[in-house]
């Protein structure tokens, strides 16, 4: 019989042997967000399709080609979230969070879904760390959001990353730019792809984001948005650059960044790395001052970014960066016989109640096989329980790394012995660290 339990194309399993890497990244991004005052928000995996059509934009590739949309049993059009911002802002409006102290600072670690051609760094189910700062009009907010993204990458140790920034203006100054783009691209109608032809009258800025090689070549000579900014947008962008300079953050002004979603205004940015192959952006975002109003709420100047966690993981592995070591069992108890198995279960319960990880045999293995298993799962200590140990009320606790053994009293001596051993291990690790530091000094 053929194996039917296979994952759908464009999705990945995170296996137990790899999960610790994700835990480390997720912990790091959450802790860094907290340093900037952000708290977690969790939104549903699916929303009304209209939410994304109105926020992301019905002329974008995401809405036109990539969304997973279906009718539920009630006949409602539902879409799996293709990105995190729209749902987060919807939640802010629905629950009236804007009536509290502004800005609202929210972060999320979430899955997203887009029907795209799977490739390195691009999946159909992917994961993002995102932040949304709702109700913050000042250019200082733009700089702070960028600084947050920079700090996350720095704390993970990721190098060879370039910050690229741009301003795409506001609706007022973008009108003149749109007219200039229409005039420019109209001369290339016969060469544009069908999708870009449909965008020419409705939203010519989307042509700048087309992945077609022909359209990209044409777009390279298009008018530049920075030449059309109004005074307010120019001042805002200059102020953002000034804050980044004061913070010591290097950047490149790239006038071709427009981002792939329609809700962006003014500042847009990307952190890119050429080690990702075709997908160079590891983190991208910007300002979306009109999104809350587009969704029926009040005027709430806002901004945020999303960071692709699969891409973060790829970079860390390519750059041979360290992850926090996965947790290993403190003790493995190897019972020999039914009476010993019962006692092993009690001892494990006592250890777990004190916060220690404890395992015992669940497969009916012999002693030799159990000790091999204890070594394979990298248990710190092992304890053999047989008739002699039960009769005498004593057993030998073995350090699996050094082979050293210490006799303990059962049952109460086990918890204290493991506690003392862990304290000693921590003390030894600290001494090793201090010795290495002294040698480096």
Domain with 154, as residue range(s), is 16-170+230-318
Q: CA torsion, points 260, 261, 264, 266, in degrees to nearest 10? A: 20
In a 10 Å sphere around its CB, with 0-12 CB exposed, 13-18 middle and 19+ buried, how is residue 271 labelled?
buried
- Whether 309 and 379 share a structural domain: no
- What whole-number distance in Å separates Cα of residue 46 and Cα of residue 342? 47
Distance of alpha carbon 276 from the chain centroid: 16
pLDDT for the residue numbered 195 = 84
Report the alpha-carbon distance of residue 214 to residue 50 in Å, rounded: 32
pLDDT, position 204: 87
Say whether both 352 and 292 belong to one domain: no
Burial class (CB in 10 A: 0-12, 13-18, 19+), 64: middle
Instruction: State how many domains the chain has.
Output: 2
d(CA 134, CA 117): 33
* Assigned token pair, 431: 């001494």
Q: What is the pLDDT of residue 109?
A: 98
Q: How many CB atoms lie within 10 A of CB 295?
A: 19
Q: Is residue 99 part of a domain?
A: yes
Same-domain check for residues 262 and 386: no
Same domain, 165 and 75: yes
- Whether residue 237 sits in one domain with residue 112: yes
d(Cα 67, Cα 50) in Å, to the nearest integer?
Answer: 12
Q: Which helix (H) or strand (E) holds 19?
A: helix 16-35
User: Is there a domain that residue 253 lies in?
Assistant: yes
Gap between the Cα atoms of 179 and 181, Å rounded: 5
My answer on whether 351 and 297 are in the same domain is no
Based on the fold, state whether residues 244 and 310 are members of the same structural domain: yes
Asked if 133 and 108 touch (Cβ cutoff 8 Å), the reply is no
Classify residue 217: in a domain, yes or no: no
**Please, where are the H alpha helices in 220-300?**
231-246, 291-294
Q: What is the CATH number of the domain that holds 271?
A: 3.30.930.10
Extract the residue ranges of the chain whose pLDDT is less than 70: 1-4, 58-59, 260-261, 278, 422-441
Task: Let me know if residue 269 belongs to a domain.
Answer: yes
The bridge status of strand 381-385 relative to strand 394-399 is antiparallel
Answer whether 287's CB lies under 8 Å from 132's CB.
no
47-93 pLDDT tens trace: 999 999 988 876 677 877 889 999 999 999 999 999 999 999 999 99
110, 111, 112, 114: CA torsion to nearest 10: 160
Task: Identify whether the C-beta of residue 383 lies closer than 8 Å to the C-beta of residue 336.
Answer: no
**Cα 185 to Cα 318: distance, rounded to the nearest angstrom:** 40
Distance CA 77, CA 57 (A): 16
Q: What are phi and psi of 281, to 5 degrees?
A: -80, 125
In a domain, 202, yes or no: no
Instruction: Decide if 433 is inside a domain.
Output: no
CA angle 431, 436, 438 (to 5 degrees): 95
Q: Which two tokens stand for residue 299?
A: 């005027």
What is the Cα–Cα distance from 162 to 381, expressed in whole angstroms? 46
């Amino acid at each position: 019989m053929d194996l039917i339990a296979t994952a759908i194309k464009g999705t990945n399993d995170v296996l137990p042997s790899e999960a610790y890497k994700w835990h480390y990244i997720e912990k790091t991004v959450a802790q860094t967000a907290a340093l900037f005052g952000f708290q977690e928000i969790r939104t549903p995996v699916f929303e009304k399709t209209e939410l994304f059509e109105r926020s992301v934009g019905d002329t974008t590739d995401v809405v036109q080609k990539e969304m997973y949309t279906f009718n539920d049993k009630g006949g409602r059009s539902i879409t799996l979230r293709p990105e995190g911002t729209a749902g987060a802002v919807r939640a802010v409006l629905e629950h009236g969070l804007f009536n509290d102290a502004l800005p609202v600072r929210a972060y999320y670690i979430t899955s997203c879904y887009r029907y795209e051609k799977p490739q390195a760094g691009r999946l159909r189910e992917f994961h993002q760390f995102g932040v949304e700062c709702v109700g913050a009009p000042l250019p200082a907010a733009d700089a702070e959001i960028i600084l947050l993204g920079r700090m996350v990458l720095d704390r993970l140790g990721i190098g060879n990353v370039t910050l690229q920034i741009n301003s795409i203006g506001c609706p007022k100054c973008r009108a003149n730019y749109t007219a200039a783009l229409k005039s420019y691209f109209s001369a290339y109608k016969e060469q544009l792809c069908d999708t870009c032809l449909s965008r020419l009258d409705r939203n010519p800025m989307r042509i700048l984001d087309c992945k077609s090689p022909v359209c990209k070549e044409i777009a390279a000579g298009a008018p530049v948005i920075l030449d059309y900014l109004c005074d307010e947008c120019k001042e805002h962008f200059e102020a953002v650059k000034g804050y980044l300079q004061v913070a010591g953050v290097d950047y490149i002004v790239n006038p071709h960044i427009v981002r792939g979603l329609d809700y962006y205004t003014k500042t847009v940015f990307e952190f890119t790395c050429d080690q990702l192959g075709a997908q160079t952006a590891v983190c991208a975002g910007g300002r979306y001052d009109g999104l809350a109003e587009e969704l029926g709420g009040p005027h709430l100047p806002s901004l945020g970014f999303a960071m692709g966690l699969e891409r973060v993981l790829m970079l860390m592995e390519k750059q041979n960066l360290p992850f926090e070591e996965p947790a290993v069992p403190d003790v493995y108890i190897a019972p020999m016989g039914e009476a010993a198995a019962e006692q092993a279960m009690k001892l494990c319960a006592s250890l777990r109640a004190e916060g220690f990880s404890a395992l015992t045999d669940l497969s009916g293995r012999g002693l030799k096989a159990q000790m091999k298993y204890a070594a394979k799962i990298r248990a710190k200590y092992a304890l053999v329980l047989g008739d002699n140990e039960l009769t005498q009320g004593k057993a030998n606790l073995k350090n699996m790394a050094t082979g050293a053994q210490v006799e303990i009293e059962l049952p109460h001596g086990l918890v204290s012995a493991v506690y003392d051993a862990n304290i000693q291990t921590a003390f030894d690790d600290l001494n090793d660290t201090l010795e290495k530091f002294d040698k480096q000094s």
